[in-house]
Every structure is written in structure tokens, then in C-alpha cells.
Amino acid sequence: MITTKQRSFLKSLAHDLDPTVYIGKSGVTENIIKEMDTGFECRELVKVKIQEGCDLKPKEVANDIANKLNAEFVQAIGKKFTLYRQSKDRKQIVLPK
């Protein structure tokens, strides 16, 4: 579980990120889960955009994916949300205490 200070720090890092994963009409597929898992190992912070044709709610999808991938919900703004999970091999982000 991340603290409020850590969440704020991650939000500041995520601000300039472009989405790397897009969820379309098919919803959350196995390929999206794999792509996010790979993203966590490479970047630790993953921003996702839900496309216009998809009726999913960002916070619900974010929490569902976070539970599946053992990640932390950072934020949801509009149709975008950000998740964080520390990489096992490539730790890049040092969270404040």
C-alpha cells in the first residue's frame, strides 16, 4: 500500500506520460493484461486510456486490473488512469518515505 505522499509523487511523474495501453470495445483482454504486466517491469508506472467506443468506467477497470496484477491505483482523470507496481529487476522509481 502506498502512502498519500507517494501517490502524490507518482501523480507528478505520470503527468507528462503518454498512455502506453489502450482499452477498446473488447474491454480488458488477456493481451491488455500481458501488455500492462510487461509495462510494469519496464517502466513501473503505466498510463492507460479507455477509447471512446468503450463503455467501461475508468476507476472500476483500474481497480480490477490493479487487483489482478498486484499493482497500486495512482489516479484516474477522465478516460485515463495510472497504475504503479515496483519492478522486480529494473527498479527505476524511488518513492519518498
Residue 75 lies in a domain: yes
CATH number of the domain that residue 19 is part of: 3.30.110.60
**How many folded domains does the chain comprise?**
1
Residue 93 lies in a domain: no
Tens digit of pLDDT for each residue in 20-39? 999 999 999 999 999 999 99
CA–CA distance, 79 with 4 (Å, rounded to integer): 22
Residue 50 lies in a domain: yes
Residues spanned by the domain of 16: 4-84
Residue 49 lies in a domain: yes
Tens digit of pLDDT for each residue in 38-76? 999 999 999 999 999 888 999 999 999 999 999 999 999
